[in-house]
Amino acid sequence: MTTKTHVLALDQGTTSSRAIVFDQQGGIVARAQHEFEQLFPRPGWVEHNPEAIWRSQLRAAREALDLADLSPGDIAGVGITNQRETTLIWDRATGEPIANAIVWQDRRTADLCDRLRNAGFADTFQQKTGLVLDAYFSGTKINWLLEHVDGARERAQRGELAFGTVDTWLIWKLTVGRVHITDATNASRTLLYNIRTGQWDDELLEHLSIPRELLPDVRPSSEVYGETDPELLGTAVPIAGVAGDQQAALFGQMCMTPGMAKNTYGTGCFMLLNTGNKPRTSKHNLLTTIAWQLGDEVEYALEGSIFIGGAVVQWLRDGLHMIDSSSEIEKLAASVDDNGGVYLVPAFAGLGAPHWDPYARGTLVGLTRGTTAGHIARAALEAIAFQTADVLEAMHADAGMDITELRVDGGAAANDLLMQFQADVLRVPTVRPKVTETTAAGAAYLAGLATGVWTDRKQIAAQWQVDRRFEPTMSDDRVHKLRERWLEAVKRSRGWEPTAG
């Protein structure tokens, strides 16, 4: 075991880059966070400046180390967790991106997904990758960049360009271009990786016209991949753990056995159910994904991806100016006894699981002259819980497992009103841990396991503690009526846009 007892987790998210220092007890020593600009060049398009991602992440890392009053030499390793599916391509020689990153929320490739589906390839993609053919994933975004950036395809074929999801980009920058890798969890979100063979798949690459020369090496989620350049953090620190944000949260929540589930309430909402060492094919439009790979051992999960979760609160704040800060939403929603018949379907970027409708759009129904800001705020929070209930129902049908509790994390998990309503509509307890930074914690644990901070998962699991448990209190009849009206509202949001974007 190492004598170093601290781990630095880099949590690169959709709207901000964060860095958290954890001690050996899993406690938070220090944290720093920096937002960066969201770019919306056209309706349905979402982009990030790759250099803005990198600058904000490096700044957060340096600040967290300063706040922790630790030298870089005190850090056993760096763990990375990232917004998944967001797609970057850069020049191998210069490190210069060829275009902005295309963000996971972006819908510009919905028509390409339609063409592939109409050509009969949907089953092939699902069987090999566990994913549905949707613009959400990286593969079609890579294709778009190769088709629309001058000379990109030819340069890619010559081996001059590198593709990466955000983890790959950060590792490239941290190692000054020495390491071009991703881990199995991120690879499993690209539409290019065969989760059964553990390899990039030539047939899928051909369907999407993507040269293999672009791709990073795929590694386990916990091992030493390389070291940070000494000039970046003050000394060379091992980079020792990587997982996509939702898989990292599943690991951080210590959902280690089949049947354990978590939901992360971030920009989107992502529910994962541990299904063990065999991939389960979904019949209800869920995703089969790699939960993590430790050594040669691969574990799998079912996932339901909800595109707009906490982002609906951001919209009330920034778009409608109904609140000045996200934390005010709970008080506003509590100003009314119920939703007053108002339902908000936040399909701003289409609908994810279990509907997968890229042409759905946001819908607000049930308005009357008596509708107040409180009703709309409450409908927004309830929408997060209703979407989660839709996913849990599909998950139960696919897995055939009784889910006895839902472990929750992410920013909106701090909202007691939402967590109680979530427990009510799920009809299972919602359990919030003391440390809700479970995404970053998962990355830290993966890095700490590789560098000897922790000996095994059992040692880490013993540190997981409950903050509050929300028990269902609403009557079954009331829940049924609420969900019935919600599903009617969802129907009205679907197929609104005749074409993507």
- Mean pLDDT in consecutive groups of 10 residues from the start of the chain, 501 residues: 83 94 92 93 93 97 93 91 96 96 93 94 94 92 97 95 98 97 97 96 96 96 96 94 95 90 88 90 89 95 89 92 90 94 93 86 95 95 95 87 86 92 94 90 96 92 91 96 96 82 45
Rounded Cα distance between 67 and 235, Å, is: 17
Which residues are part of a known binding site for sn-glycerol 3-phosphate? 14, 84-85, 136, 245
Q: What is the pTM of this model?
A: 0.86
Q: What is the pLDDT of residue 2?
A: 58
Rounded Cα distance between 331 and 145, Å, is: 44
Rounded Cα distance between 376 and 15, Å, is: 24
Rounded Cα distance between 40 and 235, Å, is: 38
Residue 481: what residue type?
K
Residue written as token pair 């993966």: 446
Q: What is the pLDDT of residue 499?
A: 61
Which residues are part of a known binding site for ADP? 14, 18, 267, 310, 411, 415
The three-class DSSP label of residue 188 is: coil
Strand partners, 87: 102
Helix (H) / strand (E) containing 218? strand 217-219
Which residues are part of a known binding site for glycerol? 84-85, 136, 245-246
Q: What is the pLDDT of residue 289?
A: 94
Strand partners, 350: 348
Torsion angle in degrees (nearest 10) through CA of 352, 137, 172, 263: 30
Q: DSSP per residue over 250-300, as a string?
A: HHHTT--STT-EEEEESSSEEEEEEEESS----SSSPEEEEEEEETTEEEE
Which residues are part of a known binding site for ATP? 14-16, 267, 310, 314, 411
Residue among 124, 107, 10 at smallest CA distance from 62: 10
Q: What is the pLDDT of residue 500?
A: 45
Going by DSSP bridges, is the β-strand pair 193-194/343-345 parallel, antiparallel, or unpaired? unpaired
Which residues are part of a known binding site? 14-16, 18, 84-85, 136, 245-246, 267, 310, 314, 411, 415
Fill in the DSSP letter of residue 470.
E
Neighbours of 469 (CB within 10 A): 12
